Amino acid sequence: MFLWELRQSNDLATARTAAVNTVVLFEIFYLFSARFLGAPSLTRAGLFGSHAVLAAIASVVLLQLFFTYLSFLRQLFGTAAWDGATWLRAILVATSVIVLVEAEKWWFRRRAAANAH
């Protein structure tokens, strides 16, 4: 995301914001993926099972919005405000972790079932 945004915008602040926000989004999605190590996490229990985790995620998202849109924080960190399209790109890139982790868990479950027979 950093390099892509830098090439698209030719703006270091936008690219820096892309890098940080995408990493944070990766971590949020990974948290959901790792909720259950041996079972699919994209279930109601996996997504809504822990109010503490949801509160922590909401806090992180709020802090990222501050990081991205509050002018004094943008000046402090050298970041830039984003439009909706940039957020969408970051979210789409970060969701790849869900696909990869869920595919890995499916593969291990399938392998374990084959070895059990």
pLDDT tens profile 74-89: 999 999 998 998 999 9
pLDDT score for 50? 79
Nearest-angstrom CA–CA distance, 77 and 67:
8
Residue range 31-80, pLDDT digits in tens: 888 877 777 777 676 667 778 888 999 999 999 999 999 999 999 999 99
Q: Positive or negative, the Cα torsion across 27, 28, 34, 39?
A: negative
Is residue 18 within 8 A of residue 94, CB to CB? The reply is no
Please tell me the least confidently modeled range out of 21-25, 49-53, 60-64, 92-96: 49-53
pLDDT score for 111? 86
CA-nearest of 19, 32, 24, 45 to 100 is: 32
Give the confidence band of 102 by pLDDT, cuts at 50, 70, 90: confident
pLDDT score for 24? 96
Q: Positive or negative, the Cα torsion across 88, 91, 96, 102?
A: negative
Q: Assess whether pLDDT exceeds 90 at residue 115.
A: no
Q: What is the DSSP string of 77-106?
A: HT-----HHHHHHHHHHHTHHHHHHHHHHH
pLDDT score for 20? 95
Nearest-angstrom CA–CA distance, 64 and 21:
7
> The whole model's pTM is what?
0.81
Q: Number of C-alpha atoms within 13 angstroms, CB side, residue 59?
A: 6
Is residue 13 within 8 A of residue 80, CB to CB? The reply is yes
Where exactly are the structural domains of the chain?
A: 2-116
